């Protein structure tokens, strides 16, 4: 079993001979929940691609442990970078989508207020929902032993999504009536790939038109129609394999 991963604010100055401290909520989880003790393996990461792997020297109280690190791995920037624009699902399916996309290897997630979304993020409720998505990405990144966690952007309008698509090296809208399968699309070897996943009610004709003007064609994923909370993961897995990132 690989060593558990915990998040620190920064690994600036980390190197051989430097003793690192894990405290706060992460330290409390390591000491009081995971019950890590002296001599056990542990990995600290900043979630931005840097890590310090070593062993626990000792614990202090219920929320602090000291770590002696021996290795300092770096996870390089992904290429091509894969971003999923995710229309807001109902209930807790948004967090489910974020969790499994993070575990799969997606690099960026953009919440999208599509016209046919039943769920709406407004005011305090919207801020709380966004924080849940970000916390889910962080926890799923730790669980899947990632050193570089996906970014979760602010809620985007259709116009803002179109701007993201226009700057991508490859942009696609997952749509059951797409004339070309995503499995045979011509993909870039570097740069950025952006996928749009619509709501349960589908992407509206007006949205499809706006995205087409931004350079995003509709592609079908397969013979079956997936739910919005699983389509992004299935598409990302396909692209991770085709681009060699899973090689």
**Mean pLDDT (the chain, rounded):** 95
Residue-wise pLDDT for 197-209, tens only, equals 999 999 999 999 9
In this predicted structure, what is the pLDDT of residue 17? 85
Query: In this structure, are residues 91 and 85 in contact, taking their beta carbons and an 8 Å threshold?
Result: no
H/E run at residue 207? helix 205-213
In the three-class reduction of DSSP (H, G, I as helix; E, B as strand; rest coil), residue 68 is classed as strand
Residue-wise pLDDT for 129-160, tens only, equals 999 999 999 999 999 999 999 999 999 999 99
Query: In this structure, are residues 9 and 60 in contact, taking their beta carbons and an 8 Å threshold?
Result: no
User: φ and ψ at 225, to 5 degrees?
Assistant: -100, 115
Those residues with Cβ within 8 angstroms of residue 12's Cβ, 6 or more apart along the chain or in another chain? none
Residue-wise pLDDT for 44-92, tens only, equals 999 999 999 999 999 999 999 999 999 999 999 999 999 999 999 998 9
What whole-number percentage of the chain has pLDDT above 90? 91
Set out the domains of the chain in order of their start, with CATH numbers.
5-71 (2.40.240.20), 81-243 (3.40.1280.10)
| pLDDT of 43 strictly over 90 | yes
Query: In this structure, are residues 103 and 143 in contact, taking their beta carbons and an 8 Å threshold?
Result: yes
In this predicted structure, what is the pLDDT of residue 223? 84
């Amino acid at each position: 079993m690989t060593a558990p991963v915990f998040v620190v604010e920064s690994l600036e100055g980390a190197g051989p001979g430097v003793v690192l401290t894990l405290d706060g909520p992460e330290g409390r989880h390591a000491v009081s929940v995971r019950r890590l003790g002296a001599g056990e393996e542990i990995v600290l990461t900043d979630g931005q691609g840097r890590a310090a792997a070593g062993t626990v020297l000792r614990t202090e109280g219920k929320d602090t442990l000291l770590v002696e690190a021996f290795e300092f791995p770096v996870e390089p920037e992904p290429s091509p970078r894969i971003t999923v624009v995710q229309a807001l699902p109902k209930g807790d399916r948004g967090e489910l989508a974020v969790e499994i996309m993070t575990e799969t290897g997606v690099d960026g997630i953009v919440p999208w207020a599509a016209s046919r979304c039943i769920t709406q993020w407004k005011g305090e409720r919207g801020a709380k929902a966004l924080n849940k998505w970000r916390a889910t990405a962080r926890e799923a990144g730790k669980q899947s032993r990632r050193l570089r966690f996906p970014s979760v952007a602010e809620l985007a309008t259709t116009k803002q999504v179109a701007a993201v698509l226009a700057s991508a090296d490859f942009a696609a809208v997952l749509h059951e009536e797409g004339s070309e399968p995503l499995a045979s699309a011509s993909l870039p070897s570097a740069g950025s790939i952006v996928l749009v996943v619509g709501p349960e009610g589908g992407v509206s004709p007006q949205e499809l038109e706006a995205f087409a003007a931004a350079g995003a064609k509709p592609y079908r994923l397969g013979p079956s129609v997936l739910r919005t909370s699983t389509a992004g993961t299935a598409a990302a897995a396909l692209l991770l394999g085709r681009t060699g990132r899973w090689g």
